[in-house]
A and B are shown apart, each in its own frame.
Chain A
Amino acid sequence: MIEVKDVTKSFDGKTILHGVSAEFKTGKTNLIIGQSGSGKTVLMKSIVGLVRPEKGQILFDGRDLLKMDTDQVKNLRKEIGMLFQGSALFDSETVLGNVSFPLRMFTAMTEAEIRDRAQFCLERVNLKGADSKYPSEISGGMQKRVAIARAIALNPKYLFCDEPNSGLDPRTSILIDELLSDITHEYNITTIINTHDMNSVLGIGENIIFIKQGYREWVGDMHQIYTTDNEALNDFVFANDLFQKVRAYVVQNEKP
């Protein structure tokens, strides 16, 4: 479990996160949602240590990231997998090379073992026959799947996904969501997904944290979101007619 307590972060005198606290549960898909500029990316970058907050605690199963020395942070990072918005695959490496990379850097595996493990990860994300291709030669959806395979190669305890559906068509977005959800449950990972894709929110949101203007505004799950009376959340999630109709249908059919 990851706990964030009273995290505050400012840039150039402007406070982006105002004492945010939240719990991200193990074995669940935890979603951070909020409008663009609400501070959700800063929150995620603070949790993974790319940004250092001025105040607060970030606890990885009780270990405070902000009190760790360099070696401890380095060791913690071996337990973290991250999927970036733009996939962040290494251009100079093939698909197999990208997935093999963390194995080559941090394990004592032989080349054959590395290859087997990398191919297993690629098969786990339903990607076959692309081993020798370069990132520029495959589609956006395939790139995301390679990035997921790379992120799970070292069997991480924590998986972070920054806008995993960004730039993908709706069908591929659903596939990626399902994949992330399956991997989370299968390997009992603490997964944190930063998104503003409503399909993800309503489809895989087992623990949702809504951030508004740097404050934690609401916490709940994908079922509670239909019946919430939080105005800001309703405005954000059910902004269009389709989702309003979905909510009306769900609420009506769930009535006793």
Chain B
Amino acid sequence: MLISHSLATFGRYCLFMKRVFAIPDRWRTFGSRTVLEISKLGVDSIPLVMIISLFIGAVIAIQMQINISSPLIPAYSVGLATRDIVLLEFSNSILCLILAGKVGSNIASEIGTMRVTEQIDALDIMGVNSANFLVLPKVVAFLFFMPVLVSFCIATSILGGFGVAVFTEIITVSRFVYGLQAMFNEWYVWYGLIKSLFFSFIITSVASYYGYYVRGGALEVGKASTDAVVYSSILILLLDVILTKLLLQ
């Protein structure tokens, strides 16, 4: 029962994506909607990303200091570990889990409300490919802007860790900075960016799918919003494992 339901859902999701990735009716309209979505989904997320990253960066630095303080481990390891945790996991997977909550619920509730208020039917009646018109700009905009959000996240997290070094006495600034630069592997940055692109696609497409197929009223829109966050989070975690295996080994 669960398997057949999952397969049916996956099949419907694939058919939905086929409609989403059609050629837009009007490129100019598509372009303007994409710019609008970049602002709404991407730029508006920057403050949240920066606030969370700043504090998490600081917390990672403090926890590293507590957990790896040993005469056998060099002190600069705090900076090194903070940097690698941020690059490998926090700036992409954890960030995308957070954004699945903010952006995913926003998309699902917006499209779901359009469905229950017949706005999507109105588009269909006019002969507009509603899935393409509503969803493709969101997917493209978020894919396009995700590297920017990841970059902001990395920079602010490192700044948070650096703040710990500056304002507390648990590690010196010079050792922290030395740790940040030590044994730097450039691939980790690319690895994080590649993962984040996959995750951004999951967030927008899964949330759009749940919003698009809402039936009922406000209660169902709320449920679709929750489902969108839950399922996109699960898929992000699953894909995280697969991509880590593929990209790091």
Q: Measuring CB to CB, which residues of chain A are less than 8 angstroms from any residue of chain B?
A: 48-50, 73-78, 80, 82, 84-86, 88-91, 101-102, 104-106, 160
Which residue of B29, B113, B122, B128 is within 8 Å of A82 (Cβ)? Answer: B122
Q: Measuring CB to CB, which residues of chain B are less than 8 angstroms from any residue of chain A?
A: 25-26, 29, 113-114, 117-119, 121-122, 124-128
Minimum distance in angstroms from A70 CB to a CB of chain B: 10
Minimum distance in angstroms from B29 CB to a CB of chain A: 7
Could you say which residues of chain B place their CB within 8 Å of the CB of A82?
122, 125
Could you say which residues of chain B place their CB within 8 Å of the CB of A50?
121, 124-125
Considering the chains assembled together, what is the distance between the CA atoms of A38 and B113 in angstroms? Answer: 26
Minimum distance in angstroms from A38 CB to a CB of chain B: 20
Verify B121–A102 contact, CB threshold 8 A: no
Considering the chains assembled together, what is the distance between the CA atoms of A89 and B117 in angstroms? Answer: 9
| Cβ contacts A to B, 27 pairs, < 8 Å | A49-B125, A50-B124, A74-B127, A75-B127, A76-B127, A77-B125, A77-B126, A77-B127, A78-B126, A78-B127, A80-B125, A82-B122, A82-B125, A84-B118, A84-B121, A86-B117, A88-B121, A88-B122, A89-B119, A90-B122, A91-B117, A101-B126, A104-B26, A105-B25, A105-B26, A105-B126, A160-B125
Considering the chains assembled together, what is the distance between the CA atoms of A223 and B121 in angstroms? Answer: 34
Could you say which residues of chain B place their CB within 8 Å of the CB of A49?
125
Could you say which residues of chain B place their CB within 8 Å of the CB of A89?
119
Considering the chains assembled together, what is the distance between the CA atoms of A219 and B86 in angstroms? Answer: 72
Could you say which residues of chain A place their CB within 8 Å of the CB of B121?
50, 84, 88
> B25: nearest residue on chain A (CB-CB)?
A105
Question: Lowest 5 CB-CB distances: which A-B pairs, in order?
Answer: A77-B127, A88-B118, A88-B122, A84-B118, A82-B125
Minimum distance in angstroms from B68 CB to a CB of chain A: 51
Verify A86–B118 contact, CB threshold 8 A: yes
